[in-house]
Structure 1
Amino acid sequence: MAELQTTNRVTLSKVRESTFGVIPTSPAFTTRRQTSSGLAANPKTVVSNEIRSDRQVRDLILVSQEAGGDIGGELAFNVADDDFEEALQGTWSNNPSITVVTSDTEISDLTTTTLTVAAGGAAFVAGMLGLLSGFPTAGNNKVGRVASSTGTTIVFPSSTFTAESGPIPVGASVRVVGFAGASGDLVAAASGLTSTTLDFTTLGLAAGEWVRIGGASAGSQFATAACNGWCRVSAVAAHALTFDVKPTGWTTDTGAGKTVEVYTGDFLVNASTKRSSTFERQYLDHSPVTYEYLTGQTPDQMKITLATQAIATFSMTYMGKNGEVQQSRVSGATDIPAPSTDVLNTSSNVSRVGFGGVEVTGPNYVMSAEVNINNNLRRQNAIGSTGAVGTGNGEFSVTGTLDTYFGDPSIYQAVINNTATSFDFRIGRADGNRSTYVFDLPQIKLSGGSPEVGGKNQDVTIKGGFQAYRHPTLGYTISIGRFWYLPN
């Protein structure tokens, strides 16, 4: 007897298309971590209107497919990065990195001071902090400050590492995770950071991105506690880094005797680069295996949900071209495993919720939050094609809800007065490399909400909807920062 197909034996994977609705040649499918998948071909049929003398229906005719649907998932570091890029229609601005794909090739040697690389070394400029990962000698997997570089070498200070005697394995990498000034070079000024030697314009920084000031040791932090922490960059000049969001109590500090470290991440903002993908679904209980392909799948909507004491989740809604089912796999297909990072929760993994640029520490504690991204796509149909010939872009809209305790009238007042404010949150691991995301909506207005007074023995809460919109100086609606490493 044939096996009945179970949900636990269905795999989902995707590959980005170069041409809408066309499966790439020899596609490399990345496995998709999922909690649910409602993708479907969605065929549309029409009953023939032909009149017959025997009163019977002539035919049921396939006229179109409206392939698409929803995919649900749990948020984990590096798992949804393509989804973020596609939903925002932006492009990740990545810090320099080099990863070994073929053993001992992309990185071929490590001495006590120098990495030998095949190419790309010049992007690692003096002052950057480079994180080594995946090297055989455990003590080499750490952060070091770049002293100099060429196209094929990255040089660190004397005796930073232990020389590796064997080949550098696949997966080993070096990645920029921040920068540091020389002793006393970085100064906390009223407007942000200044320097005498370090040139901030060489570090890949952009207005709008968040940075974390201060390393793990006293020597890598400002002596003034309020000058360490998270800041948002508003302008970058050669020797001045201006912040428009700073820790409470920020003041001046000369940084005397300190080699202050600043940690940075990759950066993504909304834009208008529309991308489509082919999804492959394998029904592994079938013999032979059934393969389903859904092409032209373009993200229309994305929802990020943070509920109290729960797993952080996200969902995607796709609009695409068509689907087909077959019992042989697409020619030349290969597989890329999904990242194996741990799922993030909304309790111990959320290190900040910010409202109006200030961390919410009470009394208006946030009980839940939801961010909804909508590209307002439309199918473009035409004679001669069962599926859409394309998708049209609409207005980029970001809305959401904030459910908070009614601890004081500030949020309610912001609703009544139509006050412009902001919303941000930071979510990431507290172990390992403490990899973290920073989500920032720099300009929002609360579109509704009032105190909800229920029955006896209940807390009064306020659930406010919001609309995000273009920030007048930063020029975007939403940004995401991706930090591969943060100090403990």
Structure 2
Amino acid sequence: MTIGDTSRVALRLVEETSWGVTPALPMRTLRAKQQSLDFNLRHVASEEFRDDRQVADVARIDAGAAGTIGMELSFGAPDPLFEAALFGRFQPAARLSGAAVASTATYGLSAGGGAFAAGHLLRGEGFAAAGNNGLHRVTAATATIVTVAGTPLAVEGSGADKAIRAVGFEGASGDLAATPSGLASTALDFTTLGLRPGQWLAIGGAGAGQSFATAACNGWARIAAVSANALALDHRPEGWAADPGTGRTVRAFFGEVARNGVEEISHSIERVHADIAQVLLFRGQMVRLMRLTLATGRILEASFELIGRDALRGDAGFGTGDPLPAGTAPVMNAVGDVLLVREGGGGAGIVRQVTVELNNNLREVKAVGALGNVAIGVGDAAVGGTLEAYFQDGALYDKYLAGTETSLAFVAAAGGQAYVVTLPRVKLSGGRIEAGSRNADCVLRFELMGLRDPATGCSIQIDRLAEFAV
């Protein structure tokens, strides 16, 4: 007799259109390292009197489908749960599916091509010809035609999985310059590129002449304001200086941005026990708590606490059609894949650990005549976390004592793809300096309280860059 082994367990999910109703769509395999999803039935014993000292009956009075999914952070894997936790979608500057290659210099679309603008760096996706999936600079765009420069394309028909996406921008030779406060242009119009304050840029390309000659002007920076010929940047690299960009076609990469919002997103999640042909389906799952952890000597982790409607059991998968495969991006670690941690726009010192939490304060809603939940109540989006760093000077502790607002951001990247997690407005609480014993390091420990940032309208933001070069 075969018994179930955890080494044969798979998790799959599909987004619901109506809460608690599994849609007739393929499920996507979810990369996870731990899960505790379960359907918990609650019982109460009868309290009626009996002269034989025994319990007359037990009644089933309640049920709840809940649990936690733990993941090792890899690009793309947590995105559906990121959106569910944030109550907000990743918003691209421009991405259109159903694309074709109309000529050796143009992509064809049914509509929407005006989202692209001259200067955009465009990446093709899903085309049969490898060159059509390359990186190209847009020179012109209409609703149905996007014209690009560079390596010729191969004519190819449209398809539902074929898409073009804006992943950055490139200035003409000498057009982009670094100024003391950000980037300036003569010809490129930044207002046409779909950029917005709070968004992160990775400045600098991989090719010769695609970066500034001043090394400190290449790297990660955040957009503070957008105008036609100027991008005001904060959180600039240390040592940033003016550079005219003479003779260089400077590139900058950006990604899709998700911020905490109000859109309720739920999933049906199935746990497949492949060796014994058993499947458990958990419907109406919403993210109650998201936690991201960066710690020395560890793989970066994301965990999601969920609550939902109910659960079902079956002998086969509940999705329609074959499940979609999981991505294959490498997992990110805290040694080589955390590119920076910034506090208040500058370095955060020598960091030991960072955690970021988003608590949506969800609650179960019950009703007479219904087993399980009839709805999920939604509360405030409470953002917080912790920061641990070695004690080197008193600057950060002074902010804690004075109640000075700051910000926190970190970049995690592997395989040329990255996430940037930002708490744009933070107050430090629960601060202490640990020096409790001999022969030990002195450590600063702070709790973080995330607040609404007037400039971005959010308390937490996640940028996902499908490509960058610096």
TM-score normalised by structure 1 residue count: 0.90
State the 1:136 CA deviation: 5.4
The answer to whether 1:240 aligns with 2:230 is yes
The answer to whether 1:356 aligns with 2:344 is yes
- The one-letter amino acid paired with 1:86 is A
Quote the Cα distance in structure 2 between the aligned partners of 1:281 and 1:448: 39
Tell me the alpha carbon deviations over residues 433-470 of structure 1, each in whole angstroms, 9 at most, x when there is no partner.
x1111111111122123221243322211222211111
Match of 2:15 in 1: 16
CA separation of 1:67/1:120 partners in 2, compared to 1, >3 Å: closer, same or farther? same
Match of 2:144 among 145, 152, 155: 152
Match of 1:103 in 2: none
Quote the Cα distance in structure 1 between the aligned partners of 2:157 and 2:229: 40
State whether residues 136 and 168 of structure 1, in contact with CA within 8 Å, keep that contact through their aligned partners in structure 2: no
Match of 2:6 in 1: 7
Quote the Cα distance in structure 1 between the aligned partners of 2:216 and 2:317: 58
State whether residues 211 and 231 of structure 1, in contact with CA within 8 Å, keep that contact through their aligned partners in structure 2: yes
State whether residues 197 and 455 of structure 2, in contact with CA within 8 Å, keep that contact through their aligned partners in structure 1: no
Tell me whether 436-445 or 180-189 shows the greater mean CA deviation. Answer: 180-189
Tell me whether 222-231 or 475-484 shows the greater mean CA deviation. Answer: 222-231
State whether residues 100 and 156 of structure 2, in contact with CA within 8 Å, keep that contact through their aligned partners in structure 1: no
The answer to whether 1:251 aligns with 2:250 is no
The answer to whether 1:460 aligns with 2:445 is no
Match of 2:313 in 1: 325
Quote the Cα distance in structure 1 between the aligned partners of 2:426 and 2:457: 13
CA separation of 1:15/1:331 partners in 2, compared to 1, >3 Å: closer, same or farther? closer
- The one-letter amino acid paired with 2:196 is A
Q: For residues 156-235 of structure 1, what are the structure 2 equivalents within 5 Å? A: 156-157=148-149, 160-164=150-154, 173-235=163-225
Quote the Cα distance in structure 2 between the aligned partners of 1:446 and 1:371: 13
Match of 1:384 in 2: 369
Q: Which consecutive unaligned segments of at least 5 residues does structure 2 have?
A: none
Quote the Cα distance in structure 1 between the aligned partners of 2:319 and 2:394: 62
Match of 1:413 among 389, 398, 401: 398
Match of 2:27 among 26, 29, 35: 29
State the 1:189 CA deviation: 3.1
Tell me the alpha carbon deviations over residues 125-176 of structure 1, each in whole angstroms, 9 at most, x when there is no partner.
211001235655556653221111233332222xx22453777899665321
State whether residues 131 and 153 of structure 2, in contact with CA within 8 Å, keep that contact through their aligned partners in structure 1: no
Match of 1:102 in 2: none
CA separation of 1:461/1:197 partners in 2, compared to 1, >3 Å: closer, same or farther? same
Quote the Cα distance in structure 1 between the aligned partners of 2:25 and 2:172: 47
Tell me the alpha carbon deviations over residues 167-192 of structure 1, each in whole angstroms, 9 at most, x when there is no partner.
78996653211112223333333332
CA separation of 1:319/1:128 partners in 2, compared to 1, >3 Å: closer, same or farther? same
The DSSP-based 3-state class of the residue aligned with 2:285 is strand
State whether residues 27 and 334 of structure 1, in contact with CA within 8 Å, keep that contact through their aligned partners in structure 2: no
The DSSP-based 3-state class of the residue aligned with 2:27 is strand
Quote the Cα distance in structure 1 between the aligned partners of 2:214 and 2:9: 54
Match of 2:87 among 89, 96, 111: 89
Tell me the alpha carbon deviations over residues 60-102 of structure 1, each in whole angstroms, 9 at most, x when there is no partner.
1111112101111100001001111111111211132345xxx
State the 1:247 CA deviation: 2.4
Match of 1:131 among 112, 123, 147: 123
- The one-letter amino acid paired with 1:383 is V
Structure number having the greater strand percentage = 2
Q: Which consecutive unaligned segments of at least 5 residues does structure 1 have?
A: 100-105
CA separation of 1:133/1:273 partners in 2, compared to 1, >3 Å: closer, same or farther? closer
- The one-letter amino acid paired with 2:382 is S
State whether residues 305 and 370 of structure 1, in contact with CA within 8 Å, keep that contact through their aligned partners in structure 2: yes
State whether residues 94 and 194 of structure 2, in contact with CA within 8 Å, keep that contact through their aligned partners in structure 1: no
State whether residues 101 and 132 of structure 2, in contact with CA within 8 Å, keep that contact through their aligned partners in structure 1: no
Quote the Cα distance in structure 1 between the aligned partners of 2:430 and 2:359: 19
Tell me the alpha carbon deviations over residues 337-380 of structure 1, each in whole angstroms, 9 at most, x when there is no partner.
111111111111111111111134xxx30011111110111111
Quote the Cα distance in structure 1 between the aligned partners of 2:458 and 2:155: 48
State the 1:407 CA deviation: 1.5
The answer to whether 1:38 aligns with 2:31 is no
**How many residues are aligned here?**
470
- The one-letter amino acid paired with 2:360 is N
- The one-letter amino acid paired with 2:432 is S
State the 1:305 CA deviation: 0.8
Match of 1:366 in 2: 351
State whether residues 137 and 162 of structure 1, in contact with CA within 8 Å, keep that contact through their aligned partners in structure 2: no
The answer to whether 1:305 aligns with 2:287 is no
State whether residues 291 and 304 of structure 2, in contact with CA within 8 Å, keep that contact through their aligned partners in structure 1: yes
CA separation of 1:465/1:146 partners in 2, compared to 1, >3 Å: closer, same or farther? same
State whether residues 123 and 135 of structure 2, in contact with CA within 8 Å, keep that contact through their aligned partners in structure 1: yes
